[in-house]
Amino acid sequence: MKNSLPEDWGTLVDGYLLGTIRNEDSIRLEQILAGSAAARSDFRRRCNLESALRSAAASSGAEPAPLPSTVRKDRWKAPLRWAAAILTLGALGSPLAWALTTTKLVATISRVSSMSDGGFEKTVGMLPSGFPTRFGTWSGDPSQTAPVADVPHSEGTRALRLISAFSEGSTDPAAARSCDVFQLVDLRPLHSALSSGEAFLELSADFLDERTEASPEIHFLCKICLFSGDPAKIGPDWPASLGQALASSAEFLFSRGQNPAWRRVHTKTLLTKNADFALIHLAAGCQPDRWKGPLELGHQFVDNVSLSLRTQPVLPVRQIKP
């Protein structure tokens, strides 16, 4: 397919995507796109990859700044633009009359303080095994807090080393496909934040694959699930109890080793009003078709886990009957 494209095709599209294209090249690019389905197909793929590169840059960016409990308006242009857009919709799109309320037009972001020890500084040694039975403690499969040798640590002085995969109820090591750690987080203190507007929970974590040689592929998981009711009932039925989740969100990071570096992963979910607690689930694992035999871990770390509450302004309009 690409044989039919000019030699400098990649340069042309890159120039367009990076905003450095000259007018005459833009005209030529348009002519090629108009006459070639292969060019349009390749252009679409490059646009998609451009989008993925931008996401990767966002998720592995610089150290995040400390989070204030309330942020200035000008630092949150996107949500405010969104709210402003809704205002515009109210003014232009409805046959009914709309009017401003006195609602505060401020997006907020704050750390969820009921999540404990995201830097693994307070937990010393091996994590308790099994599913957590109370809020604010880490536990799960074999894993241990430890200093990170030879690689700059992500945050603080320690990180959590994911030591080995474990399969509940199986003695076959080949059946173990992941090392999972969990924390239950009490969300009830956040209910007051849900009185107006939309609220999201954003979970972030740094992961490190310390293997220096090219190695079989593993994945890291950063997941959050929201539940209502009794947290003690989640563990005994795990993972079937996942079906009771009110909402969940997950993000994967894949690695084959070679380039040890911390990489940050984010995932976010809408916080529903009836959510009483969240389950934070972090893991290193592999797909059965990608790693034959027992999964070898021990060079994988997680650190700097944070849970943030983001609120967005309530729809700043109210409807007045005609």
Partner 1 sequence: MKGVPESDFLRLFVRHETSLRSYARVLMPSWEAVDELMQEASVVMWRKLGQLEDADGFLPWAKVILRFEGLRIRRDFSRDRHDFSEDVLTLLAEEAAEVSEDIWEMEREALERCLTSFAPHHRELLLAPYRGEGRVSKIADTTARSVNSLYKLLGRLREKLLTCVETRLQESTAL
The interface region with partner 1, picked from 40-48, 107-115, 130-138, 140-148 by CB under 8 A, is: 40-48
The single residue listed with the structure tokens 């030529």 is 28
33 scored as a contact of partner 1 (CB under 8 A):
yes
What stretches of the chain adopt beta strand conformation (E)?
97-100, 108-111, 138-140, 143-146, 159-162, 178-186, 198-209, 214-227, 247-257, 263-270, 277-285, 300-312, 317-320
Nearest distance, CB of residue 313 and partner 1, angstroms: 12
Helices (H), 211-293: none
Which positions ≥6 away from 254 have C-beta within 8 Å? Answer: 217, 218, 219, 220
Residue number, 45 or 104, with CB nearest to partner 1: 45
Please tell me the distance from the alpha carbon of residue 284 to that of residue 297, in angstroms, as a whole number: 8
Return the residue of 117, 121, 155, 198 that touches partner 1, per CB under 8 A.
Answer: 198
Binding mask 124-163 for partner 1 (x = CB under 8 A): ----------------------------------------
Nearest distance, CB of residue 57 and partner 1, angstroms: 4
The interface region with partner 1, picked from 103-111, 177-185, 257-265, 276-284 by CB under 8 A, is: 257-265
Nearest distance, CB of residue 311 and partner 1, angstroms: 12
Angle subtended at Cα 118 by Cα 147 and Cα 273, rounded to the nearest 5 degrees: 165
Count of residues of this chain found to bind partner 1 when the rule CB under 8 A is applied: 55
Q: Exposure of 290 by Cβ count < 10 A (0-12 exposed, 13-18 middle, 19+ buried)?
A: middle
Return the residue of 16, 76, 227, 277 that touches partner 1, per CB under 8 A.
Answer: 16
196 scored as a contact of partner 1 (CB under 8 A):
no
Residue number, 46 or 191, with CB nearest to partner 1: 46
The interface region with partner 1, picked from 41-49, 111-119, 161-169, 224-232 by CB under 8 A, is: 41-49
54 scored as a contact of partner 1 (CB under 8 A):
yes
**3-state class (DSSP) for residue 239:** coil
Nearest distance, CB of residue 297 and partner 1, angstroms: 17
Residue number, 242 or 261, with CB nearest to partner 1: 261
Return the residue of 4, 40, 128, 134 that touches partner 1, per CB under 8 A.
Answer: 40
Return the residue of 48, 157, 170, 274 that touches partner 1, per CB under 8 A.
Answer: 48
Return the residue of 258, 274, 287, 319 that touches partner 1, per CB under 8 A.
Answer: 258
CA-based R_g, the chain, Å: 24
The single residue listed with the structure tokens 């633009």 is 81
Return the residue of 4, 6, 26, 147 that touches partner 1, per CB under 8 A.
Answer: 26
85 scored as a contact of partner 1 (CB under 8 A):
yes
214-227 and 247-257: which strand pairing? Answer: antiparallel
Taking each helix axis as running N to C, give the angle between helix 37-59 and helix 23-35, from 0 to 180 degrees, rounded to the nearest 10: 120
34 scored as a contact of partner 1 (CB under 8 A):
yes
98-105: Cβ within 8 A, 24+ apart: 98/317, 98/318, 98/319, 98/320, 99/317, 99/318, 99/320, 100/316, 100/317, 101/316, 101/317, 101/318, 103/196, 103/313, 103/314, 103/316, 104/313, 105/73, 105/80, 105/313, 105/316
49 scored as a contact of partner 1 (CB under 8 A):
yes
User: Which residues make up the interface to partner 1 (CB under 8 A)?
Assistant: 10-11, 14, 16, 18-20, 23, 26-27, 30, 33-34, 37, 40-41, 43-58, 60-62, 78, 81-82, 85-86, 88-89, 93, 198, 200, 217, 253-256, 258-259, 261, 268, 270
